[in-house]
Amino acid sequence: MPFYHSLGTIPDKRHIVFRQPNGELYQEELIGTQGFGGLSTLAYHLYPPTRVKQKGKPYSIQPKIAIENGLNAMSFKGFNIEPENDYIKSRKTLFVNSGLHIGLAAPKHSTPYFYKNADADEMIFIHKGSGVLKTMFGSLPFEYGDYIVIPRGTVYQIEFDTEDNRLLYIESFDPIFTPKRYRNDFGQLQEHSPFCERDIKRPQNLVTHNELGEFDIYIKKKGVIFPYTYINHPFDVVGWDGYHFPYTFSIFNFEPITGRIHLPPPIHQTFESKNFVVCSFVPRMYDYHPLAIPAPYHHSNIDSDEILYYVDGDFMSRNNIQKGQLTLHPGGIPHGPHPGAIERSIGKKETHELAVMIDPFQQVMVTEEALSIEVDGYYKSWLS
């Protein structure tokens, strides 16, 4: 997120002497992406962030591909993903391409270890559950409807309030940003944006952990988990400032854009990356031209796939859709409202649907995990 934030105690200048009360230097760390040209943050540790005590045996969690090149409209029962006690094991990747992985998770317990994705920015959408994301940048409470954006390289722990948690996640191998067209030349969200900086929750309650011992960090790189043990707590930061930090944004703070006739999906755009966009479908007033058809027109996704995750409410353009269900409409063939949806929409004044749409610009491959929750025959569902 391109705006400045700071917590804790920092010196007046970068890269100058900054001492602890005991006379020892604080250990400065620059955290950033895209070499030294992207967003970055300077953090100040009690101890060097490099003190590895031991390493465990790496193990693969690479998803198994079932369909490399498909052209079927498909649907999946997301709530059929079985809950798992362990956070990493709970993450089931469903769709992959060279730019991103998309999956679901139903973790039952908080992480006793620390986790870091060294490859990808993570976006986690909270469908069920609440808790706190803990990082060296501070704490981020989260709840139903929140997007959590975690920049790559961020060491984190998740504390859940209950065992009933349902998450949709994206791992993006390029940084995740707010859409450029919403921002001015200085990065500020403009008046036409459907949300503003006030809606974005930044880390708070920075706690400096001055603890030595054994601290397990599981680091993901190229589909492999590398278990590391450090001798000091990774959240030993006394202060930081910069543009690179995790944040949350609630789908309920997205203010929908409406018009007299049906507007295309980009009006729902919430995030973007090099290889995909994310859109939020939220309760809104329908189109108000006297002859308007609120249902979306049939359209062909030539340059992108479309993955829609149904969160809540009655999704007007689909029949027999349940919470947690996903649909995949591949680029290259047209899709549109289910039979009866167009007539059903005429004269309606509003919708109460809630959904997350992901449009990858490269074809996704479908994993074995996805096929295990597939809805049979979905591609025939447009037959009267």
Is the CB of residue 204 less than 8 Å from the CB of residue 8? no
Is the CB of residue 266 less than 8 Å from the CB of residue 256? no
Domain with CATH 2.60.120.10 in the chain: 31-69+81-251, 255-366
pTM for this prediction:
0.96
Backbone dihedral region for residue 381 (phi beyond 0: left; psi -120 to 50: alpha; all else: beta):
alpha
Q: Helix-strand-coil percent breakdown of the chain, rounded to 5?
A: 10, 40, 50
Please work out, in degrees rounded to the nearest 5, the angle formed at the alpha carbon of residue 27 by the alpha carbons of 227 and 6: 95
pLDDT tens digits in sequence order for the chain, 384 residues long: 678 999 999 999 999 999 999 999 999 999 988 888 889 999 999 999 999 999 999 999 999 999 999 999 999 999 999 999 999 999 999 999 999 999 999 999 999 999 999 999 999 999 999 999 999 999 999 999 999 999 999 999 999 999 999 999 999 999 999 999 999 999 999 999 999 999 999 999 999 999 999 999 999 999 999 999 999 999 999 999 999 999 999 999 999 999 999 999 899 999 999 999 999 999 999 999 999 999 989 988 788 999 999 999 877 778 778 999 999 999 989 999 999 989 998 998 999 999 999 999 999 999 999 999 999 999 999 997
Which pLDDT value is given to residue 1? 61
Fold of 255-366: Jelly Rolls (2.60.120)
Helices (H) and strands (E) in the chain, counts: 3, 31
Is the CB of residue 286 less than 8 Å from the CB of residue 295? no
Which pLDDT value is given to residue 35? 82
Residue whose entry in the numeric block shows the structure tokens 């067209």: 181
DSSP characters over 336-373: -PPTTHHHHHTT--EE--EEEEEEESSPPEEEHHHHTT
Select from 3.40.920.10, 2.40.50.1020, 2.60.120.10, 3.40.430.10 the CATH code of 31-69+81-251: 2.60.120.10
Which pLDDT value is given to residue 44? 98
How many residues in the chain? 384
Which pLDDT value is given to residue 47? 98
- Helix/strand/coil for 11: coil
* Strands 212-221 vs 114-117: parallel, antiparallel or unpaired: parallel
